[in-house]
A = this chain, B = another copy of it.
Amino acid sequence: MENNQIKNESITRQEDDFAQWYTDVCKKAELMDYSSVKGFIIYRPYGYAIWELIQEYLNKRFKETGHQNVYMPTVIPTSLLQKEKDHVEGFAPECLVATEGGGNKIEDPLIIRPTSEALFSEHYSKITKSYRDLPKLYNQWCSVLRWEKTTRPFLRGAEFLWQEGHTIHETEEEARTETLKMLEIYDDLGRDLLAIPFVKGRKTDKEKFAGALETYTIEALMPDGKALQSGTSHYFGQGFAQAFGIQYLGRDGKLAYPHQTSWGVSTRLIGAVIMAHGDDNGLSLPPKIAPIQTVIIPIAAQKPGVIPACREIEKRLKDIGVRVSLDESDKSAGWKFSEYEMKGVPLRIELGPRDMENGVVTVAKRHNGEKVSLKNEELEKAIPELLEEIQKEMYQKALGYLLKHVSEVHNLDEFDGAMKLGGFAKMMWCGEEACENKIKERFVATARCMPFNQIPFGDTCPVCGKKAKKVVLFAKAY
C-alpha cells in the first residue's frame, strides 16, 4: 500500500499553483504564521527548530575555523551608514527608521539594521592597532530588517533571521581565502544537512553586494525552474576600512588598511528546503534537518500493551540519539499519518497488536512513500541506517533535477528554450552589463553567477556577438 498516493486535500497541488502550494505548506506544517505587520512573520516552534539545527551545524563549523560570536547594536545612526557610499545607496531605499525615543525626537535618526557592515567596521576601527590584532574573525546571529514591498514567508521578508560573518585580515590573499572558505562551508551545509546541491560561483558586477569588490554565491534550483540565491560571501578589499578608518601598524612599521570580508545565510534556507523536497502531501524533510526524525504512531492504541511497546521503542531510539516523538494523543491513526506527512517527518513507525505478535514494526518513508517491515529488535541498527539512506537519496534526487536543468545555450532561441524547460541557461558572455540588461528585459532572467567551473564552449556572446569572456548561468530567480 503506497500511502503516498492518498494526496492531502488540505493544500493546493504543486501543479495547480506552486506559489500557493508553498504558502499552504508554510502555514499547514506550522512553520510560521503572519503577524499584524505586513512582511513580518512569526517563526513558530517547528520552523524555528529547523533554524536551530542550521545554527548548530554552522556554529560548530564557524568555531572550528576560528570564528567568534559577538553582538552589535540593532540600530545604526544614519550618519554612520552613510560613510560607505555604495553601501548606503544599496540599502537606503529599504530602511526602517526610528525617529523618536522616550517621547523625544532623535537628531541622527536610527536605522534598524538591514546588515551590519557599518557597525562592525566602526568597532574594528576602535580595536585594531597592530598586525598582531589581525585577523578578527567575528560572526553575529541576529535578525535584520528590510522594508520590502513584496514579501513571502522565509524567501523575502521585512525581517529575517540570519548570521553575518565579518572579518578583517592583514593580506588580500588571506581575506580572499576566507571569502571562499566560508562559501565552502555553506556548500557543505547544503550537501550534508539540507540535501540541496548548490551551484557556486561569482556574481557579476551588476548583481554584487552594495560595497563589495566581489560577491560569491550559492544558488539552488527550485522545482518551478527558478533559482534561489541561498547565501553569499563578499570580498570588500579595503573600501570599508578606508571609509571607516580601520588602520593597523604593519610588520614594516607602516600604517595599513586591512582587507575585509562578510558572509551570510538566512532563514531563506528554510524556504529552499520546503521547495526543494516538498510534494502535494506537504513538507518533506531530509533527516539531518528534521526536528522530528521518526514519529511513532500506535495502531489500535487502546489495545493492551500497544502504548507501553511504543514507549519502549521511543526510549530506545532516543537513547541512540534519534530525534523521535511518540504521538499518544487520542486522534485517529489516519489523522496522525496525514499530520506528520504534512510536517515532513522522514520516518513513521507504526506499531499495533499484530506487529507486536510478529515482533516487527511497519516503517513508512516520507520521501518516497515506501513501506518496509523491520524486526523490532533490530531498530537501533536499522533506523539510523534508513535515515542515512534517505538523506542520500534526497540529495541525489535534488542533484539529478539540477543537472537536468542546466542548458548550454548558443543563441537566444536556445536561451528561450532553456527558460521554457526551466532552470539555468548556461551562456558565454562578453562581460557587458548592457547584455545582462537585454536578457533581463526579454526573459526576466538574471545572471545568477559565473560558476567556478569555467569551461568555455563558444567564442561569442549571443546577445551582442562580441568576444565572450565568461561562462554565466542565467535564470529566473526568487
Q: Check if A36 sits within 8 Å of B122, measured CB to CB.
A: yes
Q: Which of A47-89 contact B (CB under 8 A)?
A: 48-49, 51-52, 68-75, 77, 80
Stoichiometry (number of copies): 2
**Residues A102 and B98 in contact in the complex (CB < 8 Å), given A35-B123, A43-B70:** no
Q: Check if A42 sits within 8 Å of B161, measured CB to CB.
A: no
User: B residues within 8 A CB of A123?
Assistant: 33, 35, 42
Report Cα–Cα, A142/B43, bound state, in Å: 13
Q: Check if B101 sits within 8 Å of A97, measured CB to CB.
A: yes
Q: Which of A139-196 contact B (CB under 8 A)?
A: 142-143, 145, 147, 149, 159, 161
Q: Check if A68 sits within 8 Å of B96, measured CB to CB.
A: no
The interface size bin for chain A is 35 or more
| Chain B: CB-nearest residue to A46 | B68
Q: Check if B74 sits within 8 Å of A45, measured CB to CB.
A: no
Q: Check if A143 sits within 8 Å of B71, measured CB to CB.
A: yes
* A112 interface contact, C-beta 8 A: yes
For residue A415, give the distance in angstroms from its CB to the closest CB of chain B: 34
**Residues A73 and B112 in contact in the complex (CB < 8 Å), given A94-B102, A98-B96, A98-B99:** no
Q: Which of A402-427 contact B (CB under 8 A)?
A: none
Q: Check if A100 sits within 8 Å of B93, measured CB to CB.
A: no
Report Cα–Cα, A122/B42, bound state, in Å: 11
Determine which of B73, B132, B147 lies in contact with A40 in the assembled complex, contact meaning CB atoms within 8 Å.
B73
For residue A163, give the distance in angstroms from its CB to the closest CB of chain B: 13
* A243 interface contact, C-beta 8 A: no
Q: Check if A99 sits within 8 Å of B102, measured CB to CB.
A: no
* A235 interface contact, C-beta 8 A: no
* A326 interface contact, C-beta 8 A: no
* A274 interface contact, C-beta 8 A: no
**Residues A77 and B138 in contact in the complex (CB < 8 Å), given A72-B42, A102-B149:** no
Q: Check if B112 sits within 8 Å of A74, measured CB to CB.
A: yes
Determine which of B44, B71, B100, B147 lies in contact with A101 in the assembled complex, contact meaning CB atoms within 8 Å.
B147
* A95 interface contact, C-beta 8 A: yes
Q: Check if A97 sits within 8 Å of B96, measured CB to CB.
A: no
Q: Which of A257-281 contact B (CB under 8 A)?
A: none
User: B residues within 8 A CB of A109?
Assistant: 100
For residue A291, give the distance in angstroms from its CB to the closest CB of chain B: 10
* A1 interface contact, C-beta 8 A: no
Q: Check if B43 sits within 8 Å of A71, measured CB to CB.
A: yes
Q: Check if A42 sits within 8 Å of B73, measured CB to CB.
A: yes
Report Cα–Cα, A343/B443, bound state, in Å: 59
Q: Check if B35 sits within 8 Å of A122, measured CB to CB.
A: yes
24 examples of A-B residue contacts, CB within 8 angstroms: A33-B126, A33-B127, A35-B123, A40-B74, A42-B71, A42-B73, A43-B71, A45-B68, A45-B70, A48-B70, A48-B71, A49-B69, A73-B159, A74-B112, A75-B145, A93-B103, A95-B102, A96-B101, A97-B101, A98-B99, A101-B147, A102-B147, A102-B149, A142-B143
